[in-house]
Structure 1
Amino acid sequence: MAAAALVVVALAGAEAQCLAPSNLRTANGTRICAQLYTNNSPYYDQCWGGSALMVCPGSDVPYMPHSWVTAICSLVVGTRCELTVWSRASKKGKSRSFGAGMVPRLQEVRWGLFGNWNNAIRGFYCQCC
């Protein structure tokens, strides 16, 4: 099952560190597709705090883990990777794809006239080439 490729690492209480897209790797060198963060700060350099969710290449997660349902405020996508997210569980609702790069404040990423992606990710798929 593809969902087994998801690795959840909660760094609660510790200050998570933002990694550059080209440096998204575990301690043993395994590639990470994306990393999602919970801290919502008005200061860009502090957007990478709180807990971090590591997403392995090929992760297909139609339902976010319970504690992450309304928590994602920033993200980093690895080089040559793409993260597709949905606003509703089971890959429904609005969708958006993020290519390699850093998004420190999802509240600045709009959907439609009034919405944004802050705390709105309910499912995702991440792939790398």
Structure 2
Amino acid sequence: MLDQLKAWLKKKLEIKTSTGDEEQYTNDYFRELIQSQTHLIVQLEAKVAAYEAQQSNGILSDIQQLFVIQTNKGIRKYGDSVRVDNLTPVEWCQHALEEHADSMVYLMALKKSLEESEASGLETS
């Protein structure tokens, strides 16, 4: 594969010397190219590792899926993703408080249901 890349580069650069300089130039070029891209490779490896860790953890996978679903729902409902210029800071706080109030209602309903299940002798875990 490396020989094919070298041949391609040689052809593209139209290096036609018989001194062997093209071989050294090609090797130097690839060495520099690999060195210049090493940080991108490291970043990609970190992202892959994080993705694999997330995929192996059911809770994190469920949370990620929930974010995707909610984002799609928000885009359908509001026609855009979250914008920072459409609400004042006070309005953002109010919006967050309302969302948390809703989640408190959901959690209280779940708690009551679990308490009822426990009271009737059903396992909840």
TM-score range, shorter chain: under 0.3
With normalisation by structure 1, the TM-score equals: 0.15
With normalisation by structure 2, the TM-score equals: 0.15
The structure with more radius of gyration: 2
Q: Greater strand share, 1 or 2?
A: 1
